[in-house]
Structures are given as C-alpha cells and as structure tokens.
Structure 1
C-alpha cells in the first residue's frame, strides 16, 4: 500500500527502527531505508544507515551487501581509496556470497581509475578461487593506462604506460601504448622521453602513428638546429603529410634545413616555395636568396644578378644584406669600382648584418688596392680586424692586410759609392826647391832592425828570380 508513497514509507521505516529495535523486521527496515537513501543519492544518510545496519545485523548477505554498497558510493563520489577498503573487505571475507564477484569488479574499476592495476592483479593472484589469463592482465593494464590518458591525467598515464611496456614487452597493445605514452610525455614536457618513445613509434612502423611521430621528431630536431635529423624526418613526412599546412611546413623546413648542408636540395625546395599561393616577404626573400646563390655558384652571374635584385627589393634584413653584397661583388668583377664602392656604403647604411657589412668592407679593401690606395685598404682591413667578432672574416682580413704589407716592402741593396778626385799633374804645385832636390835614382836603405834573416833555400830562390 506504500508503493510510490516514499515519504510515508520512510516515516514508517524510521518509526520501526526507533520503536522496534528488537523486532525481526528491524534489520530489513534498516536495509530498506538505506536503499532508499542510496537510490535518491543521499549518500551521507546512506552511509550512516549502512553503518547502523552493520552494527545491528549478523546476516552475512546483508553485511556483504552493505560493504559492497558503501564501496560503490565512495567510488562514485571519487573517494577511490575508501572504496577499495570496502571492496577488499568483501573479497577477503565473503568469497562464498553472491557479492564476491561484484566486489572483484569494483576493485578492478577502482584500481584502474588510479592506474594501479598491478595492485589489483596482486590481489587476484592471492585468491585461489580466481584466475586471470596473461591476455586479460595485458588488456587490463593497458586499459587502466589509457583511461588516465583519456581523462587528461598525463602524468599518471605515462607512469601506467611505462609499467605496461615494462611488464608486457611483446604485449597486445605495445604499439598503442608506445604511441600514447609518447603523447603523454609531450604533455608533461618530458622531451627526452618523448623523443625516445616517438623514435620507437617510427621503428614500430604503424602507419596511423607515423605522421604525428615524425612531425614531432622533425620539429624537435629543427628547434635544436640538428638539421641532419630534421631533414631526415621531414623527407619521410613528404609521404605521410595529410594536410596542406603540414606539406607547406615540410617544404619550407627542407629548404632552410638544407641551406647550409646541401645547396642543391635547398635550391630544389626554394623553387617550390616561390610557387606557394601565399608567402610573406621574409619567406620569399629566403627562397630567392637560396636560388640566387645556386645561380651564382653555377657561374650564371647574369641570372643571379636579377634574382639578387629581387631579394634586395623584398628584404631589409640579412637576406637583403647578402644580396646587396653579391651585387656589389658582381659589379666589382665587372671592374666598375666606383659603383661597387658606392653599393658597399649603401649596404652599410641600410642593413644591420654585421657579417655582410664586414664582408663588404673586405671587398672595399680589394677595391682600394685596385685603385692603388693601399693606405685606405689597410685602414679598412684593420678596422675589421679590431672590431668584427667572427673569426673567419677577421682571419681573411688579416691575410689580405699581410699581403698588402708584403707587396709594399721594396728590397734596395746598399751599394758603397766610390768617390774619385781627378787631379792632373799640372794642378799640383810643388815648391821649386823641393822639386829640384828629388833624385829619382835614390835608393832607400833598409835599417838593420827591419832586416829579416832568411835561410839559404829562400836566398837561392830569390837570386834565381833576380837572374831571370
């Protein structure tokens, strides 16, 4: 008669509980009242009356049901650890009741929600009446990890995926576990783990996972200026790119990534970049300067000159500075030194690229040398040596400075000059008395003190010479 009349039913049940505690209906009254509160989600009241029931009853089925029901209330209220306590009580003490299997299921759900499925498996292994296959363990462990990933709890998910991959090296879900573990690592900014895991994803070769894995690895390598590896991954992405935006990124990065590694490859992708529907001036100038370099290196100076002029019109930055330098250099090769000099000063005034300004002033020194202005050439080179930071250009400037100095050294051997005074006999005036007294046949006698004794052999030789 009380069906559908909940207020009256609750009132009557409370009256029985209050007034007839010794009645055989007491336990059932508590049980019916607690079911009402549970079904109407009045959880605090439900827990209170479950505790009252546990104190009052000795019926094993009611006790097991009470613990199980409390566990479900806690679990649905996100009080998972409290729920586990209730489920474990049923599992350990009431295996012969109909509530045992439900407690096992609740325990599995609770441990899965915490990504602690290994603890659940440990409980199962301790129960002789329950067995679980390796495949079931594999599935449970993976699903527990994936559940946390789906709930965006990436730190917990990564820990769970790590356990799965360690426990089931050849498991059913290895491919997916590795993939989602890599994604979890990215979400928690563990780049080292993400790189390792995504490399494993590429190695496993699951087609649906390749684009994400290679895109991450390519971008990560590119951000670290590891262009060898970024080029490798971007090249592979050419096959897997699923959208125009990714294809565009691949072409641009293969152009810039090969710029200092393989000019021919960079040139190939630069030609594709200039064909894009939408490009900004920086990207166009980068592509055109790569194209112009290739033309210059292949000796097509006229064509490169046109392309470098395009770059100058597009860029006020390094690309424009480089293009202006090459235009000045080509003008220098055409022997138009005055115009080349003017272009160098325009470069220095318009651009802020230290490298190409220094490079241009080294060219300016060459112009001064060609104009036989070594003083100005040396001063220009000295300025670069003293002020520029790049060793390559400083060393080049020093080498050119030394070459100029060497050429300036003029070797002049010292020659002793001989002076002669040409005096004729007529110009000498002798005093007459002295001149008259000169006897041309006069023989000067050698003093005894200066005479040197000689042996008979020497005397003989001398006598023979006199006779001859």
Structure 2
C-alpha cells in the first residue's frame, strides 16, 4: 500500500503543474501529454518513449518549458523503473544529478531501492535506500524507508546495521514498528542480548503472525538465562492452552527444565508430548532423557522401549542407554533384554565405570536365569579384567554359589580342580558337581568315566546324603561293567539310611547272583526285597519283576511247587510280564506231571497272548504234549500253525523235527521226508540235523526209497566235514582274520570260501561275517546286501542280528518301510528282551517318519510298560516320540504332557529335544514370551547338547522378530555369531541378521 500511495501522489503532482501551464497545446506539448496519458495507463515503455521524445525535441526549442522538461525526465525515469529497463538506475541517477533540487529527487531513490529489493539485489537496495534518506526529515515515510533498509541489511547478514535501523523504527509510530521490534529481538537473541530481545518479544507476543512462534523464542531466552522457574511459569499455561501457538520447542524446553531439576514424572509427560509433535524425528539425546525420566519414575517397561532405540549405537550415549536398558529390563523382570543390554554395555569402552557395572550386572542376570555355565565364564573374565575391581569380593562369593548350583559340570569341575585354595562352599559344590557328572556319564553309558566321578564325589563327603547317592550310582555303573567289586558295593549299601537305595541294592544283588547262576542266594535277596518293598509303591515294577525272578529261581532249582506258587502270585498281583508268568506256570505244571492242567494253560496262553514273544514256545509245548498223548494230527496242526505265525522262530528246526516225527507216526512219510530234508538242507549245522538224518532213513525205508538216503547222507557229509577237514580249516582261517580285525582280508577269504564250497553248511555264518565286516568298515550298503541274503534264506541262527542290522542301515538311508519289515523280523526271530526292546525302538522311529503316528505311539507305550530298564534311556526316548507323534497329530496339549514327562526323566538329549518342541509349539501359537522363557530354560539346563542349545537361540531370534523387538533379535544373533563354534550356525545367524531391517 505504501508504494501505491506514493505512486498516486507522484502521478497527481504533474497534473497540477500541467493545469497551471497557460501555453496552448502545440505539437511539442503533445508528446508530453501523450506520455502522461500512457503513464497513467501503466504503459510504461510507450510512456517512456513519449517523454524521451519530448525531452529531446524540447532541448532544440527556442523557448523550452523547463518545468515540464524536469517532470518529463522524472516520469521517464519512473517509467524505466516500472518497465524494469536495464538502464533504469542510470536514468534515475541522471535525473537526480540533473535536478538536485527537484522535489522528487529523494523520492525516486526510494522507488529505485524498492525495485532492487524486490529483485533481491540487497546491495543496490541498501545503496539507494541510504540515498533516499539523505537530507530528509523524520516522518512516516522515512520510518518506512528505514525499516526497508533494515530488512535489506538483515537479508544481507549485516545484522549490526540492521539492528540500528530496526531499533530506530521500533521506537517510532511507524506501521512497521512492531515488525522492527521482532527483527530487533531476533538479532539481539543471536547476539545473546537476551534482556533486550525478551523485551521486544514481549511486545510482539500477541501479534499475528508472530504469536505462533514467539513463545518458543521467549522460552529459549529464559532457558538460556537459567530462569527455570520463570520459564515453567511462562510455558506450562501455554502448553495447557496453546490457542493456535506453536509449542513443540516450548514443550521440549519445559521437559528439559523438569529433567534437570529432577522432576522426572513431569519431564516424562512433557517429553512424551514433544515426541508426539515430532513423530520420529526426536534426537537421541532427548530420547535418552525421556527414557531416563521414565526409568526414574519406575516406568521400566516404557523406558526400556525408548532405551532400545539407541542402545545399539557405538557411542557413549549408546553405552549409557544399553546399561540403563539392562537395569530397566531387570526391574521389569525381562531378564532376556537385560542380558542382551548388559552384554552390549560391557563391550563398549567409552565409560569405564559403566563398563564394569554392566559386566557385573550381566553376571547377576545370568545367575538369576540359572545360566551358570555362562556366569562362570563371565565371572572369570571379570576377575581377570578387574583384579582390583569394585565387585571382586562379591564375584568370588558368587562364583562359589554358582559352582554349587551349576549344571555345566565339566567346566566347573575343571575350574575347581585348578584352584590353589578351596573354601568349604567350593568343596561342597565340588562334591555335588562330580556326582552330577557321574550321573550324566552313566546315562550316556560311559560307565568307567561315571565311576571316576562318583569316586571323586565320595572322597569329599561333606554332604552324607550325597555320599550315599554317589555310592549307589557307583555300584550301578560297576554292575553294568560286571566288575568283581559290585557285590561288595551293594552290600555296603544294605545298611544305608536311604530306604530306596537299601531296597534297590537287595534287588540288584538278587540279579547279580541270578546272572551268576547262584540261584539260592538270588532267591534270598529277591525274597527280602519283595518283603521290604511291599509298602514302597515307587518300586512296584521292580517288586513285580523280583517275584517273577524268584519263581524262575525255584523252577531252575526244580522246586516246581514253589515256583508254581510264585507264578500264580505274579499272575494275580502283577501288571507286567503276565504272559511270561503264565507260560512258566504251564512248564511247572508239566514238570509236576499235571499235563492236562499244563496243556490248558498253554491253550489259554495261545488265546490270550497271540502276539506275545513266547507264542511259539507255548504252541511248541502244546504240540509236544499232544504228541505225548499220541495225538499226532493235533500236534501237526499246532506245529504248522506255529510255523505260519512265527516262521523266523529259533524253534523252527526242532518244530520241523517234531512235525516230521508226527507225520511219520500218522503214515505221512512223504511229508515227513520233506520236513527232514528241510532240516538237513537249511539247518545242517545244528544238532537237529543228525536226528533228521536218522528219521529220514527210517521214513525212506518205509517207502522203499532207501537208495535216496545214500546220496543225501553223502551231500550232508560234504556240507558238514569233520573238524580237521581242509574245508573247515579254510573256514576257520577266514574266521581268524575276522577276529583279528583284518576285515578287508576276511571279506576276501569268506567270498573265496563261498565260491569254492557253495553247498557248505557254513555258508550262513560266512555271509553273516562278510556282512559284519562291511558293517564295521562302514560299507553299509554292501553289508546290507549280505544281511538280506541271510534274511531271505531265513537263516535262523543269524536272522535276528541280520534283521536288526539291516533295519538300522535302512533307517539311516531313510528307507523306513523296509526298516519296519526287518524290525518285525527281529521280533519274530528272537526271545532276547534287549533285542526285542531295540526292535521296538526302531519301529517307533520308523513308524514316526512314515507318518504312522498311532503305530509309533503303540510301540512306544510297549517300551514304557514292558521294557523295564533293559536299555538305558529307552523309556525317555519312547516318551519323546509319543510327544512328537501327538504334536504331529495337532494334539498340542497331550504332546506337551508327554514332553514334560521326558524332561522330568533325565537331563539328557531327549529332554533337550522335548523342551525345544514345547517352545516351538508356543512360538507357533503366538505365545512368544512363553516360548522365549522355555528356550532360555533349555539353554540353561541342557547346554551340553550343542545342537539343541544352538537351535534354541535361533528360535529365540524368531520369537523376537515376531514380537518386533529388533534390538533383542539383533543382540541375540550377534551373541550367536560371537560365541558359536559351528560354522553353519554362524552363517545362518549372519544371514538372518542381514534380513532384519
């Protein structure tokens, strides 16, 4: 408006002059008039031309109108300005020089200055503003020019001169005095003249547009002046009621003041409000103070979230944040975050005090998490790095406590054995550690090593109860190794104050003498055990087993009546081995010549226990009893049923012999001859072959075919040469190579023997030993080929072992269906309880991997209920597969129940796997915190099992990623990368780390 008003004023002036001119219109004056008219219409370029023509022609006039010429020069200069001619400034200068006394000389400099200002040519603007102000008195117009000059200085960064002009204008009544006050305040603020700046800011505080920003400036001044009380008194009402004012910086300053005045609750509230304004662009320092404020008011979870944002930085602030993140996480019971945070803080060296504090706090978290193995390593590192540190005494005390509780037995034992001095606490820990390591070795069948650790534990008998534990387990390990001192070890425990150990020692002594065939002593101990354990439910299964063994002892000693009594007791009282007890009862009745009762028992057995491992024995006994009564047809039927049901039974040779005899007695000599020939051909190296030859001769004679016997007998003699024959010597030489562990040469010798003597009765053994040699040499596919020859030819003597070996190889080759067939072959060809149990285990695994989970569970339950303790750890493994099967069947509740049973059985690899699957189910169900907790427990309790230990940490990472806790995910992966010795695990962790954004 100012410029427009000035222009109008300039435009009307010449009209006054023009109206006073009494000259008549002439051709010359027409140029002037046209110029004015065009100027009025803002046709500045055309106007300028008319005025220039007028001036040019007037100069040639005899009577020029000097007044109009001066005005024309003025208008021409203005027109050049308004049309933005390049030579406008020259023309203006020319006008002023030529007409210094013209009333428009100063005014036109102002217009020229404004034109340069508008073009941001502040240097020329300043030049002409200064000229426009020369020799002029103060008035409203000059105040405005000074304000414009101040702006030009300000925009040219000449703040000193700008301030002079603004200070002058702000004290006047000029319209821009308020604006000048604002700019003056800004410059004074920059110059740290805070009192003056504050005064000016107060003046414009409620003036648009300054009122939006000014509160922030005022707050900044009060903050810099450390007038904190004044600042809060000023800012807090505005923050509460902004009324359109910008309050982001205001809020931050208010938060900062409250923070440094230790009013953390109010600080936290204002920091939170400030964060809302900035939406992610908050500085790290402010984020730290916000987090620390929350920490100080015990809002640990929220503070931890903020500390995590900067805790991973490699800086002093990052180290401080990591440390306080650790403390906050610790106090909110988030031990995993605390552990990761202290780990970060202790690695950084910006603040040595924080580094030491973090190192010690890391140890305390590890202890609280029961991660004693890692705690020991960290304590050792702390004591080495800070030999005179703040927490040396506490660390030594803590180390003793951890060693007492540790599960990382080997590391702890080695550490203690390396100490020069042991305190009573450490000695107590050593006793327990060596015992626990002994149990671990026992469970993994390292019995010699177990005895070594049990001895170490016994030699430090601070805890008498633990001493008894070690003595018992030492006896158990000695029993497994059949050491001569086993009896003495158990006898010593008979006086133990521990009821369970005393009873188990009686039971084990019974077995010790039973295995030594000292049945009288065995009976004594079994009987004492049964009587003493009658009210001890925990040993019920052992008691049931002892009762059966007691009966066995009586039977072996031919006290049939007593044996029968015990078997009947077992049948009425026991939950297990009832099929065995019933079969043995039948034998007792038979030996007591109570044949009809015995036969009834065997028939009951066949009906009741058709799938029992003793079914072939029961059928055989039944058949023999039918033969004893001359009921040969019945015997033939039973024996044929036996061969159908159990074609791989070890009884096959004698079954064939009995059937052949029965055939002969009913006049079926052809069929008898067939059975005799089968025995001679397939079982020529058994004692039954000789009997078969005699029977064959009689049957052939009965059929007038005696001439056939000579050929068969001759072939038999060739296949079964005498002990000193060349054939047997060659075979024995090949066997010598095998037993001398020269397996390659043994294989060659056996193959040559088979080629040379293809009808030898030694062929089954030769094939078996070729298979065994290849098996030992890890030529598994070649071994499988020879085992299969034995299986396909139903070579009874080697069938069970060959089927078991074949199945094992097939499981390794993931040929599970073939493995199942062979494990079933084992079950049908052996009565050895250990072989049966191992076959059940193989079936459990094979059925699991073929997806037949019901069958898997069925055989696993058999292991648990019928396996006893024949194979150490079998029950654990069976329970694990039951859990895994239920997990595959999507029955997670039942799966978890079974997994928890596994974990409670022993701290072995099965327990580690079970715990992992519980965590995996929790992860997949979205229970991330529960999963992390379970995995941390796995890492603490099963750290010896590296595979599951490392898998647990990778799953922990997945849980953190799912929770969007990127700090913890990265911290865990970095820990894996730094601590794992497995290149595959490290690479997997690196790849996962790259994928986290």
Alignment of structure 1 residues 298-377 onto 2, 5 Å: 298-316=516-534, 317-332=540-555, 335-349=558-572, 351-355=573-577, 357-377=578-598
- 2:465 aligned residue: 245
- 1:146 aligned residue: 363
- 1:109 aligned residue: 323
Q: 1:83 to 1:293 in 2, by over 3 A?
A: closer
Instruction: Look up the SS of the partner of 1:287 in the other structure.
Output: helix
Q: CA deviation at 1:339?
A: 4.3
Q: CA deviation at 1:313?
A: 1.8
Instruction: Look up the SS of the partner of 1:228 in the other structure.
Output: coil
Q: CA deviation at 1:352?
A: 1.1
Q: 1:145 to 1:388 in 2, by over 3 A?
A: farther
* 1:432-459 C-alpha deviation (Å, 9 max, x unpaired): xxxxxxxxxxxxxxxxxxxxxxxxxxxx
CA contact (8 A) 1:274 1:288 kept: yes
Instruction: Tell me how far apart the structure 2 counterparts of residues 326 and 88 of structure 1 sit (CA, whole Å).
Output: 67
Instruction: Look up the SS of the partner of 1:28 in the other structure.
Output: coil
Instruction: Tell me how far apart the structure 1 counterparts of residues 374 and 437 of structure 2 sit (CA, whole Å).
Output: 20
Q: TM-score, normalised by structure 1?
A: 0.51
* 1:351-402 C-alpha deviation (Å, 9 max, x unpaired): 21431x4434333333333344444333323433443488554454445445
* 1:201 aligned onto 2:411: yes
CA contact (8 A) 2:435 2:457 kept: no
Instruction: Tell me how far apart the structure 2 counterparts of residues 21 and 294 of structure 1 sit (CA, whole Å).
Output: 92
CA contact (8 A) 1:285 1:314 kept: yes
- 1:279 aligned residue: 499
RMSD: 5.8
Instruction: Tell me how far apart the structure 2 counterparts of residues 320 and 23 of structure 1 sit (CA, whole Å).
Output: 91
Given candidates 246, 249, 270, the residue that maps to 2:490 is 270
CA contact (8 A) 1:221 1:229 kept: yes
Instruction: Tell me how far apart the structure 1 counterparts of residues 269 and 225 of structure 2 sit (CA, whole Å).
Output: 14
Instruction: Tell me how far apart the structure 1 counterparts of residues 364 and 341 of structure 2 sit (CA, whole Å).
Output: 11
CA contact (8 A) 2:548 2:567 kept: yes
CA contact (8 A) 1:201 1:213 kept: no
* 1:252-306 C-alpha deviation (Å, 9 max, x unpaired): 44455666664867644432332112415xx544321221232344454443333
Given candidates 283, 290, 293, the residue that maps to 2:511 is 293
CA contact (8 A) 2:265 2:293 kept: no
* 1:125-170 C-alpha deviation (Å, 9 max, x unpaired): xxxxx699xxx98x788546324325x357xx79x969x99xx9xx
* 1:27 aligned onto 2:225: yes
Instruction: Tell me how far apart the structure 1 counterparts of residues 272 and 476 of structure 2 sit (CA, whole Å).
Output: 71
CA contact (8 A) 2:322 2:341 kept: no
CA contact (8 A) 2:430 2:457 kept: yes
CA contact (8 A) 1:362 1:381 kept: yes
Alignment of structure 1 residues 108-187 onto 2, 5 Å: 109-110=323-324, 113=327, 114=338, 115-116=340-341, 143=360, 145-150=362-367, 152=368
* 1:379 aligned onto 2:600: yes
CA contact (8 A) 1:43 1:73 kept: yes
* 1:1-36 C-alpha deviation (Å, 9 max, x unpaired): xxxxxxxxxxxxxxxx9xx97988973231899999
CA contact (8 A) 1:231 1:254 kept: no
Q: 1:400 to 1:260 in 2, by over 3 A?
A: farther
Bigger relative CO (Cα 8 Å, ≥ 6 apart): 1
* 1:417-437 C-alpha deviation (Å, 9 max, x unpaired): xxxxxxxxxxxxxxxxxxxxx
Q: TM-score, normalised by structure 2?
A: 0.27
Instruction: Look up the SS of the partner of 2:526 in the other structure.
Output: helix
Instruction: Tell me how far apart the structure 1 counterparts of residues 598 and 434 of structure 2 sit (CA, whole Å).
Output: 52
Structure 2 unaligned segments of length 5 or more: list them.
Answer: 1-214, 233-254, 274-282, 328-337, 387-394, 418-425, 535-539, 631-660, 668-700, 703-997
- 2:266 aligned residue: 45
Structure 1 unaligned segments of length 5 or more: list them.
Answer: 1-16, 53-62, 93-100, 125-129, 188-193, 417-468
Which deviates further from its counterpart, 365-374 or 382-391?
A: 382-391
* 1:62-99 C-alpha deviation (Å, 9 max, x unpaired): x999998666534444324545779999x98xxxxxxx
CA contact (8 A) 2:308 2:321 kept: yes
What is the aligned length? 338
- 2:873 aligned residue: none
CA contact (8 A) 1:71 1:87 kept: no
Instruction: Tell me how far apart the structure 1 counterparts of residues 591 and 410 of structure 2 sit (CA, whole Å).
Output: 61
